[in-house]
Structure 1
């Protein structure tokens, strides 16, 4: 059976993201398990700072005005992101499955590692000014808690976190 790589992503993987992730282990026979959190509990201050740091003024204003998605919308969005991600990965010729997780995805990542024997975790996020700076982002927490190699990549780019 092929080794497993867990991908924890806060958004849908694009075709380029999938290709870059698969290329990390070119020539190896691997399976991928994608976890996408249904982010139902957002921190208003962190969201506003993240949007402002990326010059996303409209999104920052929407966050202040409370125009965040409902729990059902967040779960639907996560399910859609999961399906798009699986399609992108499968389009590269690899085996991929996945699931939607709770707000804090690290327990689901740990369970996947314990149950399925994953050898590595790839965390895919947008840049987050507060979390990245203070090492409270998923990748930093995963490195501290999981006991397997963790790679942090920024969605849509070749940058590593």
Structure 2
């Protein structure tokens, strides 16, 4: 059975899952979801992304909150992972998952090495103006590092990254 790795920045929505399943090469695909416990996000880049997507008020509110500590980041990642697996299961897909470190690339490489059935990667994130523009986003890095097709979806939309 083929495996698709799903790298999710946040909990997948039913809308996201419908796009992921539509992109599957066959109905006999299992999904392995990776959710980073992100504690090392660049504050300046995050602020610029928030200004780009949410406006000044929301951006500065997020900046005042600061970066999550590792305990809170892990709790949030676990909630996102559980919700994502539940959404995939509700759509009839077979799914497993794990929480990974801040940089998900080593976990993607390890998952590909551990499972010869991995045939593709789907990255689901919010838009990130700086990273996406300069090809420093997770999907671009995965395309460079892995010899697999990588699809980048923007969470909750029909937009591709």
Q: TM-score, normalised by structure 2?
A: 0.94
Instruction: Give the CA deviation at 1:55.
Output: 2.7
Instruction: Give the CA deviation at 1:20.
Output: 1.4
Write the distance in 2 (CA, Å) between the matches of 1:23 and 1:44: 35
Write the distance in 1 (CA, Å) between the matches of 2:40 and 2:25: 37
Instruction: Give the CA deviation at 1:27.
Output: 4.5
Alignment of 1:2-151 (within 5 A): 2-25=1-24, 27-117=26-116, 118-151=118-151
Q: Deviations over 1:99-135 (max 9, x none)?
A: 0000000110111011012110000000000000000
Q: Is the 8 A contact 1:10 1:124 kept in 2?
A: yes
Write the distance in 2 (CA, Å) between the matches of 1:113 and 1:104: 16
Q: Deviations over 1:65-88 (max 9, x none)?
A: 253322111110000000000000
Residue 157 of structure 1 is matched in structure 2 by 157
- Stretches of structure 1 that go unaligned for 5 or more consecutive residues are none
Question: 2:132 is paired with a residue of what secondary structure?
Answer: helix
Q: How many residues align?
A: 160
Instruction: Give the CA deviation at 1:21.
Output: 0.5
Q: Is the 8 A contact 2:40 2:67 kept in 1?
A: no
Counterparts in 2 of 1:73 and 1:58: CA distance versus 1, 3 Å: farther
